[in-house]
């Protein structure tokens, strides 16, 4: 339902960012990570009362030091008083962050579904016989036909490679993991193939991650230091 509502926006993004996507997933997702980090930093710089936030943080540090000193001196009453003040200041600090946080959530809601649909697409498949399905993967303005054989096990075939569930397949110059295959009833397509673009191979397989980082893991690796740098440049801590 959400993807249907956002379909016109997805089409707009596809047309605007097609040249960037054609440069490869590392370049495109690196650009999106940097652009979003800069955007989020500007949002906080514009909507957050930085001077007031710095003032509250200074007071927080002061009362936290006093609370620590009171506890070291076994002065529970004094420590409780400083704890109460610290909680009040934390609440004020959170209230200051509401406006930039809500603005950030809006941009995330408008852009992240498209990123997920681009780097972890669901490919609609149509059944051609009892155990064979065909569909088309679209990426960076290009289209590649895929075939799925679902007999004793699921096998995905492209023009130059094959893969089973949780295995890798290269399509349109991108390495994808075959994440799943599901038969459908009462929908426009007969089945759905789930793919995940792989970015960073891992030396060992991790729970909930697998043997490679997908687009979201790669995004978080980039966004955290980039956000720190942009906020530092704008004076937003």
Per-residue b or e along 47-75, where b marks 16 or more CB atoms closer than 10 Å to that residue's CB: bbeeeebeebeebbeebeebbeebeeeee
pTM of the model as a whole: 0.82
Q: Are residues 173 and 138 in the same domain?
A: yes
Q: Are residues 87 and 111 in the same domain?
A: yes
Q: Are residues 223 and 109 in the same domain?
A: yes
* Gyration radius (Cα) of the chain, Å: 24
Among residues of the chain, what percentage have pLDDT more than 90?
A: 48
Average pLDDT over residues 182-207: 83
For residue 186, name the pLDDT band (cuts at 50, 70, 90): low
Q: Are residues 28 and 102 in the same domain?
A: yes
Q: Are residues 9 and 107 in the same domain?
A: yes
Q: Are residues 22 and 105 in the same domain?
A: yes
Count of the separate structural domains present in the chain = 2
Q: Are residues 88 and 74 in the same domain?
A: yes
Q: Burial level of 28, CB count in 10 A (0-12/13-18/19+)? A: buried
Q: Are residues 156 and 187 in the same domain?
A: yes
Range of 83's domain? 2-118+217-234
Q: Are residues 140 and 68 in the same domain?
A: no
Q: Are residues 34 and 73 in the same domain?
A: yes
Residues contacting 221, CB < 8 A, separation 6+ = 200, 213
Q: Are residues 221 and 111 in the same domain?
A: yes
Average pLDDT over residues 134-148: 91
CB-based contacts of 96-99 (< 8 A; 24+ apart in sequence): 96/48, 96/49, 96/52, 96/53, 96/56, 97/48, 97/53, 99/47, 99/48
pLDDT at 2: 59
Candidate from 35-44, 52-61, 117-126 with smallest mean pLDDT: 52-61
pLDDT at 189: 80
Q: Are residues 14 and 113 in the same domain?
A: yes
């Amino acid at each position: 339902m959400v993807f249907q509502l956002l379909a016109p926006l997805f089409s707009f993004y596809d047309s605007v960012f097609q040249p960037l996507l054609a440069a490869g997933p590392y370049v495109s997702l690196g650009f999106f990570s940097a652009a979003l980090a800069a955007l989020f930093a500007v949002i906080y710089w514009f909507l957050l009362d930085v001077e007031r936030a710095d003032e509250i943080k200074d007071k927080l540090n002061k009362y936290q030091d006093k609370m620590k000193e009171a506890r070291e001196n076994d002065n529970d009453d004094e420590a409780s008083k400083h704890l109460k003040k610290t909680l009040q200041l934390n609440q004020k600090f959170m209230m200051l962050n509401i406006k930039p946080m809500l603005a950030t959530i809006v941009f995330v809601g408008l852009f992240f579904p498209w990123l997920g649909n681009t780097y972890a697409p669901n490919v609609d498949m149509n059944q051609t016989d009892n155990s064979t399905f065909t569909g088309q993967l679209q990426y960076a303005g290009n289209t590649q036909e895929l075939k799925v054989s679902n007999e004793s096990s699921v096998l995905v075939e492209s023009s130059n490679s094959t893969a089973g569930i949780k295995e890798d397949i290269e399509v349109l110059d991108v390495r994808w993991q075959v994440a799943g295959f599901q038969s459908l009833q009462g929908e426009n397509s007969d089945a759905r193939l789930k793919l995940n673009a792989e970015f960073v191979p891992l030396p060992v397989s991790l729970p909930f991650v697998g043997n490679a980082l997908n687009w979201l893991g790669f995004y978080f690796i980039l966004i955290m230091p980039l956000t720190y740098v942009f906020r530092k440049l704008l004076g937003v801590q």
